[in-house]
Amino acid sequence: MLAKYTYKNSYKRVKSLNQNRIWFLFKPYVNLTKCFINPKLTFNNQINFSTKILNIKKDNQKNTNNQIIAIPILYKTNRIVQNFINIKHNSLLYNPKINLDKIDTNNQNKIKTQTNLNKNKAGLNNKKGSFADLVKEKTVYNKTRDFTKIIKEYNLETFNRSNQDTCLTHKPAVKEGDWIETGDLLADCASSVGGELSIGHNIFVAYMPWEGYNYEDAILINERLVYDDIYTSIHIERYEVLTKETNNNLSEQITREIPDINEKDISHLDKNGIAKIGSWVEEGDILVGKVTPFNLKTLTPQQKLLYKIFDKELSKTKDSSLRAPRGIKANVININILARQKMELNTSQQKKIEPSKKTKTNNKIEQTEIKHFLIKHLHIYLAEKRKIQVGDKIAGRHGNKGIVSRILPRQDMPFLPDGTSIDIVLNPLGVPSRMNVGQIYECLLGLAGFYLGEHYKIPPFDEKYGADASRSFVLSKLHDARKKTGLKWLLDPNNPGKIKIFDGRTSDVFHQTVTVGLAYILKLVHMVDDKLHMRSTGPYSLVTQQPLRGRSKQGGQRLGEMEVWAIEGYGAAFVLSEMLTIKSDDMAGRQNLWKNLIDNNDISLGSPESFKVLVCELQALCLDIGLFRKNKLKQEKYSDDQTNSMPNLIEIDSLLHLA
C-alpha cells in the first residue's frame, strides 16, 4: 500500500571552509500522516531513492548499504527510473528568501529577465520585504522595491575531503545575469544533477554468461567506461608530517636543503621544502623535505671509509622526507600548516566589526612569514583521478553488486541490432536466487525511457493497483517505444523483454534471446587501489618474530590453522615447511637465506621462534623440556650401574638456531 506524506521546509545557514561563496542549505523533513502499509517496515532517504521497493526486507537493506557506500563520479546523469518520493539532498544549495513573480526565458542556456524594474511592474513582488537577486560574477546583488542595493557574498565548497577520501564540491547552477526566486537551485553538490540525487550512470546491461568471466557475480565491462571517464572519480588523500626531537636533543627540520638530492628532484618544492600547490607528483617524488640530525660518532669505520673513497663530506643530517606512495599520480591541492602564525575571523566575528575598522583590524592579523624551523605539524592534500579498473566494485540499486573481472574492447562486446554496444554483462543467475526482479523491471523500463526520452517516478508497492501492474506498465512503455521509433526488436510479442543481440567478435547472432536494458549502476568505495598490497620484507613482532598483520603496517598474509590443513591435504610438505620457518619466524634462516641463494647452496630450515616461545611458556609452568639424542635411542641394553639413569638429554636452547 502507499503512504501519504506532507513536507515542511526548514533552513539552515552553513559556512563552508573555502573563500568562494556561502550558501543557504535547504533541509526538508517528512511527516508521515497516513499509513496503509506495515508499520514495522520503515524507510529512510536511501531506500526512498531506490527504484523499486519490493516486499522483502533484506533487499531494502542491500539497497540502502550500496547507495551509502557509493562514491560521486566525475560525469553523472539523472536516473531514468526513480522513486516518486523525491527528498532534496541536505548539501544542495537553494535560495531561501527571494520572491520573483515573472521570469522570461529565451532558451535553455540563457535566462533573460525584465529590465524595467519599479513598484508598478511585474519584475518584483509587491509584498512587503520581498526582493530579488541578480547573479553577478562571484557576488549576488539584491534589489528591493526602493532600488537600494544590498550585496551578499556566498561561499561554495570546492575540493574538500570527505571521510571516505572522496571529493566534496559545489557546482553553480546559475549564470551571470540570471534572476532567481524562492526555492530555485543555486548550486549542485558532488552527488546531484539539477537538484536530484545522482550518484551513478545509465548504461546498457545484458544478462548473459560470458566464458566464465561473470561467474559468481563477476562483471564484464566495456572499455568505453574507462576511456570516456564514465566511472572516473576524484579522490583526495591526506598525508601528515611531524617534526620530532631525536635522542641527542636535536630536532628534525622541514627544509629544502636535503642531502644527496639533485636540484631537479626538488624543483617542485618551495623555499620551505613543501610541495607547491598545483604541482604534479608521482611515485617517489618528495612531498615534504625533512632532515633528521644524527651523531657522527655512531658511524662505523667502514662507513667513514666510504665517505673518504667517494670524496664526500660527512653529513650531519639524513634524509627523512615524505615521498609520494606507490602507484600515485596526483596534484597537490592544499597544505595546512598547523604551526603557522596566523589568525582568521569567522563570519559572525566580521559582522560585529564596523566597516570603517575592518581594514585596520585585518592589517593587524596579517600572516607573518613562515620559518621552516617553526613548522611542527602539517597536512598535505593530493587529488587523484581514478578510472574504473579490474578489481573495482560496482552495483545496481537492487543489491546486485559485483567485482569487475575483465575489460573488453568495445568492438568485442555484444551489440544491439542498431549497433549500440553493451556496456556491462551481468550473470543471469544472480536474479532468481536473490528474488530481486526489480532490476529486470528497471532495465527494461530504462530502455523504453531512453528511446522515448522520458523519465519515470515509480511508487513502491504499486501492485495495489492490480496484479502484474509493474509488468504491464513496463511492457506498455516498450510498446510505445517500438511504435514511436519503428524498431520492432524493442518488443517481440512472442518473447517480450528479450532481444536478439550479436557477438562483437564474429558478428554472428546469439542463438538465444537476451534480456537487455538500461540500468542505473553505481561505483562503490571498495576499489582495488586501496586493497592492493604486497610485501617482501618488513616489520616483525617482538614476541613471536612473525610478520605483522594488516596492510597499514606493511604486514604479511596470514597462514592460519585451516590453511595449514589444506596444504597438508595436498601433501605439499616442503611448501608448508618453508611457510612456517624462513617465510615466517625462523630468524637464523631468514638471515642466511640471501647468502645461500647467492652461493647456490642448499637452503637450511631451522626452528621457528614460536616454538621457542612455547618452550619458554612451558618452562614457566615448571616443565623441563628436552630432546633425546638420536644415536642413543637405538641402544638395546643399559649396564647394571646405569639402569636407574636416564638417557642423555640435550637442552633445548642448544638445538634451536637462535639469532
What is the arithmetic mean of pLDDT over 193-198? 86
**pLDDT greater at residue 208 or residue 659:** 208
Alpha helix segments (H runs only) across 297-370: 301-309, 347-352, 355-364
End residue of a domain, out of 474, 494, 523: 523
Instruction: Determine the 3-state secondary structure of 6 from DSSP.
Output: strand
Residue 351 lies in a domain: no
CATH of the domain at 498: 2.40.270.10
Q: Which of 44-58, 145-159, 524-538, 621-635 has the lowest mean pLDDT?
A: 44-58
For residues 5 and 97, membership in a common domain is answered with yes
Same domain, 9 and 109: yes
Question: Are 17 and 142 found together in one domain?
Answer: yes
Model confidence over 612-632: pLDDT tens digits?
Answer: 888 889 989 988 876 665 555
Secondary structure of residue 219 in the 3-state scheme: strand
pLDDT in tens, 272-324: 889 999 999 999 899 999 988 877 666 778 877 887 888 777 777 888 899 99
Mean pLDDT of all residues belonging to the chain: 74
pLDDT at 56: 35
**Res 512: pLDDT:** 92
The CA distance from 125 to 128, in Å, is: 8
- Are 32 and 105 in a shared domain? yes
Exposed e or buried b per residue across 401-439, where buried means at least 16 C-beta atoms within 10 angstroms of its C-beta:
bbbbbebbebeebbbbeeeebbbbbbbeebbeebebebb
3-state secondary structure of 184: coil
Largest Cα separation within the chain, whole Å, is 131
* Residue 645: pLDDT band with limits 50, 70, 90: very low
pLDDT over threshold 60, residue 575:
yes
Whether the per-residue pLDDT at 128 is higher than 70: the answer is no
Residue 624 located in a structural domain: yes
- The residue behind cell 574507462 is 226
Is 356 part of any domain? Answer: no
| pLDDT tens-digit series, residues 3-39 | 333 333 333 333 333 333 333 333 333 333 333 333 3
* The pairing of beta strand 218-222 with beta strand 401-408: parallel
Say whether pLDDT at 371 is over 80: no
pLDDT above 90: residue 40: no
Is the pLDDT at 68 greater than 80? The verdict is yes
Cell of 56: 522483502
Q: What is the pLDDT of residues 466-525, one digit of tens each?
A: 778 888 899 999 999 999 999 999 999 889 999 999 999 999 999 999 999 999 999 999
Rounded to whole angstroms, the Cα distance separating 512 from 508 reads 12
Same domain, 597 and 612: yes
Cα torsion angle, 637, 641, 644, 648, sign: negative
Asked whether residue 486 falls in the same domain as residue 541, the answer is no
- 421: in domain: yes
Query: pLDDT above 90 covers what percent of the chain?
Result: 33
Segment 139-148 shows an average pLDDT of: 44
pLDDT-above-70 percentage for the chain? 67
Q: Are residues 658 and 599 in the same domain?
A: yes
Between 501 and 99, name the one with better pLDDT. Answer: 501
Confidence of residue 425 (pLDDT cuts 50, 70, 90): very high
pLDDT of 551 reads 82
126 and 270 both lie in a single domain: no
Judge whether 299 lies within some domain.
yes
Owning domain of residue 164:
1-36+93-188
Does the residue 559 lie in any domain? yes
pLDDT of residue 557: 87
Decide: 112 and 104 in contact? Cβ < 8 Å. yes
pLDDT top residue among 340 and 295: 295
Considering only CA atoms, which of 89, 11, 9 is closest in space to residue 49?
Answer: 89
Instruction: Look at residues 154, 188, 222 and tell me which one is the last residue of a structural domain.
Output: 188
512 plus 650 within the same structural domain? no
Mean pLDDT within 653-658: 44
Tell me: do 409 and 502 sit in the same domain.
Answer: yes
Residue 247 lies in a domain: yes
- According to DSSP, residue 593 is labeled H
In 10 A of CB 292, how many CB atoms?
16
Picking from 471, 493, 523, the residue at the C-terminal end of a domain is 523
Each residue's pLDDT tens digit, 555-568: 888 899 999 999 99
- Flag whether 82 is in a domain: no
- Whether the pLDDT of residue 359 is over 60: the answer is no
Residues 30 and 132 reside in one and the same domain:
yes
- CATH number of the domain to which 644 belongs: 3.90.1800
End-to-end Cα, the chain, rounded Å: 73
pLDDT of residue 172: 82
Residue 497: which of 79, 82, 207 has the closest Cα? 207
379 and 445 part of one domain: no
Do the Cβ atoms of 234 and 166 come closer than 8 Å?
yes
CATH label of the domain that carries residue 300 = 2.40.50.150
pLDDT the model gives residue 101? 30
pTM to 2 decimal places: 0.70
Burial class (CB in 10 A: 0-12, 13-18, 19+), 550: exposed
Number of domains in the chain: 4
Note the pLDDT of residue 48.
Answer: 36
Give the pLDDT of residue 304.
Answer: 79
What confidence tens digit (pLDDT) does each residue in 432-465 have?
988 888 899 999 999 999 999 999 988 777 777 7
